[in-house]
Every structure is written in structure tokens, then in C-alpha cells.
Structure 1
Amino acid sequence: MNWIILIIAGLFEVAFTSSLGKAKTTTGMEMYLWYGSFLISLVASMLLLMKAVQTLPLGTAYAVWTGIGAVGTVLMGIFVFHESVNFWRLFFIATLIGSIVGLKSMSH
């Protein structure tokens, strides 16, 4: 169950970084709504991470959480913010995903 909580925490990390990206492209009330989304997502991500590390190894949980956030944010950048995509970028995303899966499979 705590692995599911950790995955959700990582998805909230993607949400808070993506909210920052959207906030910088907007003005007025919409910008404040994106900053609100950032704060809510940040708090949710941290609370869920805190819950997950109560039973999961701290180093593994943190690495998986940041890995989910990093991969998710790069993918959001590519698909939502139209950032560049090339072989090496995809290659390193794939190695990061492989590392996350490896860490999860090696933890007890």
C-alpha cells in the first residue's frame, strides 16, 4: 500500500512542477490559480511522502519519488510545454525509469 502512496506522491510532484510551468505563462487570476495548484500539490506530495517513508526505506523512497517527479516532469515538458525531444533525452529518461524499477525491486 505504501508503494501506491509513494507513486501518488510522485504524481503530485509532477503536478506542482507543471503548475509552476503553467503559472509563468499566464497572468492575473489564472496565474494565482496555478500558484494555488502548486501549493496544494506541494503539500499533498510532501504529506504522502512522509506517510510512505514510515514503512519504506528512506533512501529508496526518496529516490523513487524524485525519479517519478523527474520523469513525469520531463514528459509533461515534452507533451504539454512542447520542449524538444531527441534520442539522448529519451535514452536518459529510459535509464532513469530502469533505475526506479531496479530500486523498487531491490528493496524489501
Structure 2
Amino acid sequence: MAWLYLILAGIFEMVGVTMINKMHRDKNWQSVVYMLLGFGASFLFLALAMENLPMGTAYAIWTGIGASGGAIMGMLFYGESRDWRRILFICMVLGAAVGLKAIS
């Protein structure tokens, strides 16, 4: 169950980061509310995951999902660069997260 919590924490981290970008673009209060809810849920699920997972592993995977997911969301929805090198390094971050899971 801890791994599910950790994945949910990463997904909500992506929501929070995406809402920061939306907040800067649209400048409305709904984006602020969704950003706070996204980050709040992210921290809640991270805390639940860390009840059973080592802190270093949980934090590394949480930030990896958030960073990679935020970059992918930027590419999909905000026209950010889709350069092959950028995609390669995103894959490396995700590969490192899988490696941490494999040895945990």
C-alpha cells in the first residue's frame, strides 16, 4: 500500500506544479485553490508512504515522479521543448526511480 501512496503523492505533486504554471498564465483564484489542494494531497500521501518506506527512497521517487511528470505535462499542454535529449534525461530519472524500487 505504501507504494500506491507514493505514486499518488507523485501524481498530486504533478497537479500542484501544473497549477503553478496555470496560475501564472491565467491569474485566477481557482488555480491557487487547485495548487494548494494538489500539494496538500501530495504531502499527505508522501507522509503515509513514509510510514513503511525509507525516507531517502520515498523522497527520491516522489521528487522523480513530480519532476518528470511536470516536464511531461509542460510538453503536452504548454508547448515546452520535446527535444530528444530532454526526453532521454526524463527517462533516466524514471529509470533511477525504478532502480530504487528494485533494490528496496
With normalisation by structure 1, the TM-score equals 0.94
Residue matched to 2:20: 20
How far did residue 101 of structure 1 move? Answer: 0.3
Aligned residue in 2 for 1:3: 3
Are 2:55 and 1:58 equivalent residues in the alignment? yes
Map of 1:72-87 to 2, 5 A cutoff? Answer: 72-87=69-84
CA distance in 1, matches of 2:98, 2:56: 14
Q: How does 1:29-108 map to 2 (within 5 A)?
A: 31-107=28-104
Matches of 1:39 and 1:86 in 2, distance apart? 31
Runs (4+) of structure 1 moved beyond 3 Å? none
Q: CA deviation at 1:9?
A: 0.4
Q: What is the root-mean-square deviation of aligned Cα atoms in Å?
A: 0.7
TM-score, reference length from structure 2: 0.97
| Structure exhibiting the larger radius of gyration computed from Cα positions | 1
Distance in 2 (CA, whole Å) between partners of 1:87 and 1:5 is 31
Percent of matched pairs sharing the same residue? 40
Gaps of 5+ in 1: none
Q: Deviations over 1:33-91 (max 9, x none)?
A: 00000001111100110110011011000000000001100000000111011111011
